[in-house]
């Protein structure tokens, strides 16, 4: 048994600071994940809340308008190319960004050891 090399030990203050920083990083990753989930469900949020209130026709109109910028099926049939473009922008972009935020939160959490 030899002497311990005390120079290699980490000071207790530094360990406490690193623990606090790690807790802060974990909270930040949860904020990323929750923000991503909220962004993913945002295109249908108004329609779902109207459906829970019992207004099914209004829920359909809200979902159609929030996704295709047209509140009726006739508006979609009149301009299908515009409806497809609107769906790509109004649904595809928020869902894509939301999923990237969720993935970033998960990867960061795995990286910091949560």
**Residue 31 binned pLDDT confidence (cut-offs 50, 70, 90):** very high
What is the per-residue pLDDT for 101? Answer: 93
Distance of CA 92 to CAs 67, 69, 84, 86, 98, Å? 9, 14, 10, 9, 10
The predicted-structure confidence for 38-97, as pLDDT tens digits, reads as follows: 999 888 888 889 999 998 888 888 888 888 877 676 777 777 888 888 888 888 999 999
Sequence-distant (6+) residues with CB within 8 A of 47 are 59, 60, 61, 62, 63, 66
Residue 34 has pLDDT above 60, yes or no: yes
What is the per-residue pLDDT for 65? Answer: 85
pTM exceeds cut of 0.85: no
Mean pLDDT, rounded, for 23-33? 90
**CA neighbours closer than 13 Å in the CB half-sphere of residue 84:** 4
């Amino acid at each position: 048994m030899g002497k311990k090399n005390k120079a290699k030990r980490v000071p207790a203050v530094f360990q406490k600071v690193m623990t606090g920083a790690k807790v802060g990083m974990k909270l930040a990753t949860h904020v990323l994940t929750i923000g991503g989930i909220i962004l993913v469900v945002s295109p249908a949020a108004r329609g779902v809340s109207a459906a829970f209130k019992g207004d099914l026709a209004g829920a359909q109109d809200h979902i159609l308008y929030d996704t295709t910028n047209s509140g009726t099926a006739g508006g979609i049939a009149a301009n299908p190319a515009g409806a497809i473009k609107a769906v790509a922008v109004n649904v595809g972009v928020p869902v894509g960004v939301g999923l990237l935020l969720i993935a970033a939160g998960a990867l960061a959490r795995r990286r910091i050891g949560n």
